[in-house]
Amino acid sequence: MKKFFLIIAVALSFASANVLAQNNNGGDVRYIKSPRFARPLIEKWIEEYAKTEPGVTFQIAKGASADAALNVVVDGQSDEANTVYFGKTAVLPITARGSEADRLLGGKHLSSRKLKQVFFVSDEEEDERPSKQFESLVVYSGSNATSAANAFARNLGEEASSFRGKRIAGDDLFLNTAIAKDAYGVSFNTLSNIFDLNSRRVKKELSLVGLDVKRDVADDFGNEGSLDNVLAALESGRVGGIAVERVGIAYENGDVAVLKFLQWVLTQGTQFNHAFGLLNPDNAEDGARQLTAQK
């Protein structure tokens, strides 16, 4: 009996130690911290990079790890000197498909002004008084530093602090969950959180809020549009007024393995951007040159 307890104790001790060990940045493992919209892409990179550099292991950091060597950030979240931008993400407004909010906004093509009315506290006064048309809608926005809330607000000339409605804490992916629970919920998200990366269509539980875009691309920005068409339209510059932010990786200078990985990302890794819902960067070559200089 006593031996049994001893075995259990030792086993549990090992198990817990293993769990905690993830936070230790020891050996040749480099952890990458990323919001979920970019995680599938990062995982793809890790897989592909491992084929060319088997000696160094990169892993996605899980939990609230502060020891990640690399951090996926959106524009303005980190020191520019130690950040390389590998792509861009677009942010679109959404509702839960079939919800009351979807019905209210269905068939509408909202201009920037209307979007501001729906999502933000009136500029005229601080008391939260949305325009009557959208009074019943409940806006859900993220409150994490990596949330697309900042990009969405900035694009409309607003601040993230000015969102109406409710805040959630957690990855933006949970915005989809939040609006699914509220018939009047309306939110926004990045393309990779909105589209099914396999079918390339809008996730069946979500509905895109119609935007005031040119007629020739209007269908692409509807529920029947495809991710690839949206990406193509955005990259071609045919669509304006959509929140698009650069996505990059912040790193600490001095780790050659990290710099080498980032150089690979900028030269090889970006070919997977579209597959995982990200736009290509404007100047990946500049970033690669920056890294070469630092090595």
Partner 1 sequence: MEKKLFVLLVAAVSPLLAIAQNIITGRVVEQGINEPLIGATVLVKNEKGKGVVTDIDGNFSLPTKQEAPLTIVVQFVGYRSQEIDVYDFEEPVEIQLVDNSSRLDEIVVVGYGTQKRTQLTGSVTTVKADIFEKISVPTLDGALSGQVAGLNVTASSGQPGADSQIRIRGGNSVNASNEPLYVIDGFIYFKDAANATTGIGGLGSSLNPLSTVNPNDIESIEVLKDVSATAIYGSRGANGVIIVTTKKGRKEAGASSINYSYGLGVSTVSKKLDLLNASEWAQFQKTYFSNKGGYTDAEIAALGEGTDWQDAVLRTAVQQTHELSVSGGSEKSRYAFSANYTDQDGIVLNTNFQRYNFHTNVDWELRKNFNFGINATFGRSRQDVLTTLDGLQSASSTSPFSAGITNSFVYALLMPPVISVYNADGSYNFKNPYEYAYFAIGDHMANPVYDLEESVAENINNYLLSNVWTTYKVGPVTLKATVGLSSEKLTQNLFAGAYTSLGMATEGIGGNGNRQTDIWQQEYTATFDKDLNANNHLDALVGYTYQHTESTYSIILTNHFTNESLKQYNLGDGANIYTPETGISESRLHSIIGRLNYSLLNRYNLTATFRADRSSRFSAGHEWGQFPSLGLSWNVDKESFFANVQRIDYLKVRASVGLVGNQEIPDAAYLGTYSTGSYAGSSSYSSGNASNDNLNWESTLNYNVGFDLGLLHNRVNIVADAYYKKTYDLLFVVPLGISSTVSRQLQNVGNVVNKGFELSIDGSIIKRRSVRWTAAANIAHNLNELTDMGSSKDLIYGDDNQQILSKGEPVGTFYGLEFDGIVQSNEDVTQLPKVNGNVPSPGDVKYVDHNGDGKIDGYDRTFLGSTQPKLTYGLSTQFTWRNFDASVAFAGSVGNRVYNALGRRLEQTGDSYNVLSTVLGSWTAENGGNRLPLASTTRPFSHIDSRYVQDASYLKLRNVSVGYRVPLPKDGFIRGLKVSISAANVLTFTNYKGYDPEVASGTDDGVYPASRSVSFGVNVSL
Q: Evaluate whether 4 touches 32 at the Cβ level (below 8 Å).
A: no
> What track of x and - describes contact with partner 1 for positions 214 through 253 (by CB under 8 A)?
----------------------------------------
Stretch that binds partner 1, among 16-24, 189-197, 207-215, 228-236 (CB under 8 A): 16-24
Give the shortest CB-290-to-partner 1 separation in angstroms: 24
* Strand 83-96, strand 185-190: pairing: antiparallel
**Is residue 82 involved in binding partner 1 (CB under 8 A)?**
no
Stated length of the chain: 295
Q: Which long-range contacts (CB under 8 A, 24 or more apart) does 108-115 make?
A: 108/209, 108/210, 109/210, 109/211, 109/212, 109/213, 109/218, 110/209, 110/210, 110/211, 110/212, 111/212, 112/156, 112/212, 112/241, 114/212, 115/156, 115/211
Our CB check for partner 1 shows the closer of 28 and 126 to be 126
Listed residue (223, 211, 198, 282) closest to 98, CA to CA: 223
**Burial level of 249, CB count in 10 A (0-12/13-18/19+)?**
buried
**Is residue 7 involved in binding partner 1 (CB under 8 A)?**
no
Stretch that binds partner 1, among 42-50, 122-130, 233-241, 264-272 (CB under 8 A): 122-130
Give the shortest CB-29-to-partner 1 separation in angstroms: 19
**Is residue 159 involved in binding partner 1 (CB under 8 A)?**
yes
What residues between 172 and 201 interact with partner 1 by CB under 8 A? 174, 177-178
**Is residue 108 involved in binding partner 1 (CB under 8 A)?**
no
Q: How many residues bind partner 1 (CB under 8 A)?
A: 37
CA angle 39, 43, 45 (to 5 degrees): 115
**Is residue 123 involved in binding partner 1 (CB under 8 A)?**
yes
| Residues 6+ away with beta carbon under 8 Å from 53 | 257, 260, 261, 264
**What is the phi-psi region of residue 177: left when phi exceeds 0, alpha when psi lies from -120 to 50, beta otherwise?**
alpha
**Is residue 293 involved in binding partner 1 (CB under 8 A)?**
no
Give the shortest CB-34-to-partner 1 separation in angstroms: 10
Stretch that binds partner 1, among 165-173, 204-212, 222-230, 256-264 (CB under 8 A): 165-173
d(CA 115, CA 102): 14
d(CA 294, CA 57): 21
What residues between 125 and 144 interact with partner 1 by CB under 8 A? 125-127, 143-144
**Is residue 81 involved in binding partner 1 (CB under 8 A)?**
no
**Is residue 9 involved in binding partner 1 (CB under 8 A)?**
yes
Binds partner 1 by CB under 8 A, chosen from 24, 53, 63, 204: 63
**Is residue 83 involved in binding partner 1 (CB under 8 A)?**
no
Give the helix/strand (H/E) hosting 85. Answer: strand 83-96
| Residues making contact with partner 1 (CB under 8 A) | 2, 5-6, 8-10, 12-13, 15-17, 19-20, 63-64, 121, 123-127, 143-146, 159, 161-162, 166-171, 174, 177-178
